[in-house]
Amino acid sequence: MRRMAGKEIRLDMTLIEGHANVLIRVGDDGKVAERVLYQGVDTRFFERLWAGMNIDEMPRVTPMICGVCSATHHVCSALAVDKVRGVEPPETAQNIRAMINLGIHLNNQALHLVVMGLPDFLPASEKRRSVFRLMASRPALAKTGLKIMELGHTVVAVFGGREVHPINAVSGGVARAPSEHEVKELREKFEKLKSDLETFKKEALNLLAESKEKISNYESGTEYMLAVVDSKTGGFTPLEGVAKVIDSKGNVVVEFRPEEYTKVIDEKVFDYTYVKMPVLRSKGYPQGGMRTGPLARVNIVKSYGVEEADELRDKLFEEWGRPATHPLLYHYARVVETIAVYELIQRALDEWDFWSTPLRNYTDSVRGEGVAMIEAPRGTLIHHYRAREDGATEYVNVITPTTFNAVAMENDLTKFFQGKNVAKMSDREIYAHAVAIVRPYDPCMACATHTVAEHQLGKILIVDKNLNVVREVKP
């Protein structure tokens, strides 16, 4: 459907998780003169609902806001509760928690590529772009990707207790260890699927290599990138570390620990969206917006600790520069991380201890406050809790990767659309450009806005300066 009685365009956006609008504001001449906005449309107020809950319940309930990367919420929440309690988990428990997060990283990178990201690279003749069309056009890519996706879920189930909304991480450690039989079966599955991983890598990279023109068509409008790295090595870590922010030249702008995040990050609030807009406090909105996730990590981490992944990343830099900034290179970064995480899990299954006791150190004391910050598949995740002496939670703040990426998505959309006459563009053309920019970020609106609505998917809207809808774009 197309309407031009006003000054905005709306589009139903598929292949994202949850609901969101892209608001493209135009002048009387039909040109995009102002900033393009990314609008979260609903909220559940989870942080307020959790106030008053016993602090030890947080690792169980916080993953419920998302069915996709709930495992990282689970681990991050447990880390924050550890700090509220003032307890250090045993090494065995840390190993098990790390495996939970590694498992969801493997699952989500393959899932996004096959189901949401790579269908965008099918030929223009493909009017419908989905995993089903990818299956028909590139069967080897789709089939192997789905196998790897399921393997990641199996890792989460073995170490987290179940595939979705895991339950094993508790205050001070974990509730149970995996059985030796479960770990043995996992080893066998990882060995069996190595040839599938190789096929997946080659097929994905071939499709991306065929799409260089499409990738180069969309430039970055975002100056900064954010990722958590190992505090000792600067490498990739599935648990806590330090956060680093780099600029578009690769210079480290700021480095901070979890408890220092409020000094560095300012969570802006605007009346057009339910998503908070985190920016660098020193830079403000929108200049201080930060990109996070796989593309940020490949640029920031010193090493993944996996030679093949690091070599693949070096090839990315050779072709696109370092730091690599084009938004569609998120898809390339996910291939790099699929290779890296697969090897890290396989290595851990052979080398790590999951059975030494104790599995948990527990105390009834409450220090009062705890902040945890780790890398989810989509990027940096922060859980911040305060509790009373009786253990009741009195303050909760959760900053998700999609929340961080909201400003970056606006920046990149603005970079592309500003100055263009969208009145002369078809719905299909507008839609194709907008989703090509948004989808690489893999926005998960369920935990960014805590959405509860059932009435709409994402939309791309052409609006006037007062955000009155002029046109709703249909794919």
Domain-embedded: residue 22: yes
Domain-embedded: residue 330: no
In terms of Cα–Cα distance, which of 24, 85, 34 is closest to 56?
85
**444 annotated binding-site participant:** yes
Helix, strand, coil fractions of the chain, as percent rounded to 5: 45, 20, 35
Domain-embedded: residue 211: no
**429 annotated binding-site participant:** no
- pLDDT level of residue 456 (50, 70, 90 thresholds): very low
Domain that holds residue 18: 8-43+419-473
- pLDDT level of residue 221 (50, 70, 90 thresholds): very high
pLDDT given for residue 458 in this prediction: 60
Q: Give the Cα separation of 69 and 71 in Å (integer).
A: 5
Average pLDDT of the residues of the chain:
90
pLDDT given for residue 339 in this prediction: 98
> Does 181 have pLDDT greater than 60?
yes
Domain-embedded: residue 432: yes
pLDDT given for residue 1 in this prediction: 28
The rounded radius of gyration (Å) of the Cα atoms in the chain is 22
* pLDDT per position as a tens digit, 351-368: 999 999 999 999 989 988
Q: Give the Cα separation of 95 and 168 in Å (integer).
A: 12
pLDDT given for residue 2 in this prediction: 35
With contact defined as beta carbons under 8 Å apart, do 142 and 135 qualify?
Answer: yes
pLDDT given for residue 8 in this prediction: 55
pLDDT given for residue 453 in this prediction: 42
Neighbours of 342 (CB within 10 A): 27
Sequence-distant (6+) residues with CB within 8 A of 396 are 46, 47, 50, 51, 58, 383, 384, 385
* pLDDT per position as a tens digit, 83-105: 999 999 999 999 999 999 999 99
Task: Give 291-340 as a DSSP string.
Answer: EESHHHHHHH-S--S-HHHHHHHHHHHHHH-SS---GGGHHHHHHHHHHH
Amino acid at 309: A
Domain-embedded: residue 379: no
- pLDDT level of residue 42 (50, 70, 90 thresholds): low
In this structure, what token pair is assigned to residue 156? 């989460």
Domain-embedded: residue 365: no
pLDDT given for residue 451 in this prediction: 40
pLDDT given for residue 340 in this prediction: 98
Total domain count for the chain? 1
Residue 329: Cβ-neighbour burial (10 angstroms; 0-12, 13-18, 19+): buried
pLDDT given for residue 66 in this prediction: 76
With contact defined as beta carbons under 8 Å apart, do 265 and 377 qualify?
Answer: no
pTM: 0.92
In this structure, what token pair is assigned to residue 337? 């991380």
Phi and psi at residue 246, in whole multiples of 5°? -115, 160
Which stretch of 72-81, 145-154, 219-228, 426-435 has the lowest confidence by average pLDDT? 426-435
Average pLDDT over every residue of 272-276: 87
Domain-embedded: residue 244: no
> Does 385 have pLDDT greater than 50?
yes
**76 annotated binding-site participant:** no
* pLDDT per position as a tens digit, 253-267: 999 999 999 999 999
Domain-embedded: residue 219: no
Average pLDDT over every residue of 448-452: 42
Q: Which long-range contacts (CB under 8 A, 24 or more apart) does 278-284 make?
A: 278/399, 278/403, 278/404, 278/406, 278/407, 279/407, 280/224, 280/245, 280/253, 280/254, 282/254, 283/223, 283/224
Average pLDDT over every residue of 447-468: 60
